[in-house]
Chain A
Amino acid sequence: MMTAMTDTSPQPAPDGRDEAERKRRLRQRNLIVLALLIAWVALIYLVAIVRMGAQ
Chain B
Amino acid sequence: MSDVTMDSSMTARGASWRDYYELLKPRVMTLVVFTAIAGMMAAPGAIHPAVAVAAILCVTIGAGAAGAINMWFERDIDAVMARTAARPTVQGRVEPAEALTFGVFLSVASVMTMALLVGWVAGALLALANLFYVFVYTIWLKRRTPQNIVIGGAAGAFPPMIGWAAVTGDVTVVPILYFLLIFLWTPPHFWALALYRRPEYDKAGVPMLPVVAGERATKLQMLLYTVALLPVSVAPPLLGVGGWLTVGGGLVLGLLFVICAWRVWQEDGAATGHKAAKLMFGYSIFYLFALFGLIAVDGGATGLGL
Contacts and interface: CB of A to CB of B under 8 A. Distances in A.
Interface of A: 1-5, 7, 11-12, 14, 18-19, 21-22, 25-26, 28-29, 32, 40, 43-44, 46-48, 50-51, 54
Interface residues of B, number: 29
A46 B297 CA distance: 28
Nearest to B57: A43
Tell me whether chain A's interface is mostly helix, strand or loop, or mixed: helix
Tell me whether chain B's interface is mostly helix, strand or loop, or mixed: helix
B14 A4 contact: no
A29 B12 contact: no
Contacts of A29: 14-17, 20
Nearest to B9: A18
A50 B50 contact: yes
Given A1-B2, A43-B57, A51-B117, 16 more contacts: A3-B3, A3-B96, A4-B96, A7-B6, A12-B12, A14-B13, A21-B14, A22-B14, A25-B16, A26-B14, A28-B16, A28-B17, A29-B20, A44-B113, A46-B50, A47-B54
B2 A25 contact: no
10 contacts: A11-B11, A22-B13, A22-B14, A29-B15, A43-B54, A43-B117, A44-B117, A47-B50, A47-B51, A48-B117
Contacts of A7: 6
